[in-house]
């Protein structure tokens, strides 16, 4: 049973397994081994029967369960199909402008201003895809999308896809007033936050017990120090069939990083990879502290930073990517034989990402190996991993998710049509993958050949960007995360000297 099998799949197996147990008992001579196997299989059958009879409410959704009636939807989910909620009806004047926060938190404001969070509503890729999704579903997914790209816009400004066409389209992205007014969560996906601004008492929630401000009151929030805070927008389930679209939080939760107490904030709210402390002050009048959380929210999307003319953020994103993986040749032959097939293996390891490599938006995120074999006498002996017509070429060794619709056909753009996961080749935290290449060594070369491998990443394929925005509107930044190279001699018969090889792999914690 794979991860995405449904419980009902056990029902067809139940009767077959019962018959198998009956025949097994008749045919096998009683022995300690046979008795042990019989007990094990009987236990499995009992478990399966329990699974089949599981209560309908036993779903991924928690607190509250996914509503199954119109009345329950109105009661539990005021911004359906998002899971966002508020403590009362909200108005725009209940929120302050980030420029007000800038007065005391100038450094944090500058970090946030160039972040993807700040530009979550302005992101051209999101806007184009959101417009398509809204048109295809008659607006049914509007709240689902806006909940995490403009929480204030959805909860207090009646934001929708139609807002994209308005001349005064000025919905805020994820700003100070969003995060520091979230008082709780009701689940771990689809925007399940409770947004509760308190202008009357002027309270801001944050990670400090001893924070003090002359302008507003402060209140400690343990939630703000935990990955659960991030889960509400970094876990995404299809709103109508619950297919797991994005699972960054779950990937972390099931990893050793969680067991070790390493939170999302410990990697994505620091000055850069490997920098665990950031001494300074959160505000101009604040206390000097050993560590201040960076509000650049560094991730891997250098393409968006380039689009918003932020070279600092773009380079920081590249550094994050370079710290995430290593790559090395394994079991290299001592030499290659002219005129014969050669097989080469590469090991790609996730050494720095506390989630799968890659993670996030599955239709775009892709890590792949661009592998070439060349010689001084004959270039381009072999290549796999080139970009052709905006895609990685067929046969490329890629690490990515492939989504499918209800017919099992690949979904490469219209995420609202997703009904299942067709494949997932991404690398687990602290995990690795072995990729293999077989090629023919030309029979007319005598000199050495060089093996070169690049581990590349892009947040979206160029084809997808061209489809959404038009050709030439935005160029995707392909980041080389790490490299590996080797030189092998070519002989007329097996044997020769041991290969020389190097690697450009870097280690670090993401």
List, for residues 148-194, the tens digit of each pLDDT value.
999 999 999 999 999 999 988 989 999 999 999 999 999 999 999 99
With cut-offs at 50, 70 and 90, classify the pLDDT of residue 501: low
The pLDDT tens digits for 217-240 are 999 999 999 999 999 999 999 999
What is this structure's pTM? 0.84
Give CA 193 to chain center in angstroms: 20
Give CA 38 to chain center in angstroms: 43
With cut-offs at 50, 70 and 90, classify the pLDDT of residue 492: confident
Q: How far is CA 460 from CA 132, 146, 246, 300, 409, in A?
A: 17, 20, 15, 11, 20
> DSSP assignment of 205-253, as one string?
EES-SS---SSSEEEE-GGGGSTHHHHHHHEEE-TTT--EEEEHHHHHH
Please count the other Cβ atoms lying within 10 Å of the Cβ belonging to residue 482: 24
Mean pLDDT along residues 357-374: 96
Please count the other Cβ atoms lying within 10 Å of the Cβ belonging to residue 224: 17
Does the pLDDT value for residue 49 go beyond 90?
no
Mean pLDDT along residues 25-39: 42
**pLDDT at residue 30, rounded to an integer:** 42
With cut-offs at 50, 70 and 90, classify the pLDDT of residue 46: very low
Q: Are 434 and 399 in contact (CB under 8 A)?
A: no
Structure tokens at 423: 């494949």
Beta-strand ranges (E) seen in 22-135 are: 85-86
Q: Are 176 and 197 in contact (CB under 8 A)?
A: no
The phi, psi pair for 438, rounded to 5°, reads -125, 130
Structure tokens at 386: 């080139």
The phi, psi pair for 120, rounded to 5°, reads -65, -30
Residue 440: HSE in the Cβ half-sphere, 13 Å Cα cutoff: 4
- The number of helix segments (H) and strand segments (E) in the chain equals 16, 22
Does the pLDDT value for residue 22 go beyond 80?
no
Residues, the chain = 510
Report which secondary-structure segment, H or E, holds 392. strand 391-392
Mean pLDDT for all residues in the chain = 87
- Dihedral sign computed on CA atoms, order 27, 30, 33, 36: positive
Strands 479-491 and 382-384: unpaired
- Dihedral sign computed on CA atoms, order 88, 92, 93, 95: positive
Bridge partner list, 451: 373, 486
Q: Using DSSP, state whether 201 is helix, strand or coil.
A: coil
| Residue percentage of the chain with pLDDT more than 70 | 84
With cut-offs at 50, 70 and 90, classify the pLDDT of residue 504: low
Higher per-residue pLDDT: 284 or 39:
284
Q: Are 186 and 201 in contact (CB under 8 A)?
A: no
Q: Using DSSP, state whether 458 is helix, strand or coil.
A: strand
Does the pLDDT value for residue 9 go beyond 90?
no
């Amino acid at each position: 049973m794979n991860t995405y099998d449904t419980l009902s799949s056990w029902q067809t197996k139940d009767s077959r397994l019962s018959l198998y147990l009956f025949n097994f008992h008749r045919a096998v001579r009683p022995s300690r081994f046979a008795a042990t196997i019989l007990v094990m299989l009987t236990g499995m059958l009992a478990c399966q029967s329990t699974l089949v009879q599981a209560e309908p409410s036993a779903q991924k959704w928690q607190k509250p369960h996914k509503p199954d009636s119109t009345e329950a939807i109105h009661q539990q989910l005021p911004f359906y199909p998002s899971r966002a909620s508020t403590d009362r009806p909200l108005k725009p004047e209940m929120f302050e402008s980030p420029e007000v926060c800038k007065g005391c938190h100038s450094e944090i404001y500058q970090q946030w201003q160039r972040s993807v969070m700040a530009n979550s509503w302005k992101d051209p890729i999101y806007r184009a895809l959101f417009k398509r999704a809204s048109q295809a579903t008659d607006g049914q997914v509007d709240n689902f999308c806006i909940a995490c790209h403009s929480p204030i816009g959805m909860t207090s400004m009646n934001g929708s896809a139609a807002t994209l066409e308005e001349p005064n389209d000025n919905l805020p992205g994820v700003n100070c007033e969003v995060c520091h007014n979230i008082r709780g969560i009701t689940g771990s996906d689809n925007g399940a936050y409770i947004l509760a601004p308190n202008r009357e008492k002027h309270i801001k929630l944050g990670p400090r017990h001893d924070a003090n401000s002359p302008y507003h009151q402060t209140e400690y929030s343990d939630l703000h120090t935990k990955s659960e805070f991030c889960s509400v927008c970094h876990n995404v389930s299809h709103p109508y069939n619950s297919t797991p679209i994005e699972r960054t939080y779950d990937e972390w939760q099931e990893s050793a990083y969680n067991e070790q107490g390493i939170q999302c904030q410990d990697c994505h709210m620091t000055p850069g990879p490997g920098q665990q402390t950031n001494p300074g002050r959160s505000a101009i009048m604040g206390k000097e502290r050993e560590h201040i959380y960076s509000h650049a929210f560094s991730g891997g999307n250098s393409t968006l930073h380039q689009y918003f003319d932020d070279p600092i953020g773009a380079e920081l994103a590249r550094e994050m990517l370079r710290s995430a993986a290593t790559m090395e040749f394994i079991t290299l032959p001592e030499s290659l034989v002219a005129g014969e097939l050669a097989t080469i293996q590469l090991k790609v390891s996730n050494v720095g990402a506390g989630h799968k490599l890659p993670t996030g938006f599955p239709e775009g995120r892709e890590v792949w190996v661009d592998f070439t074999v060349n010689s001084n006498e004959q270039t381009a002996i072999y290549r796999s991993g080139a970009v052709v017509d905006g895609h990685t070429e067929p046969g490329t060794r890629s690490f990515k998710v492939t989504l499918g619709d209800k017919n099992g056909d690949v979904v490469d753009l219209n995420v609202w049509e997703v009904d299942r996961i067709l494949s997932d080749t991404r690398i687990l935290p602290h995990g690795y993958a072995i990729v293999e290449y077989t090629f023919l060594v030309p029979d007319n070369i005598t000199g050495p050949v060089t093996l070169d491998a690049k581990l590349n990443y892009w947040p979206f394929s160029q084809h997808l960007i061209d489809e959404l925005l038009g050709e030439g509107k935005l160029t995707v930044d392909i980041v080389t995360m790490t490299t590996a190279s080797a030189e092998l001699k070519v002989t007329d018969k097996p044997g020769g000297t041991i290969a020389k090889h190097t690697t450009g792999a870097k280690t670090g914690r993401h």
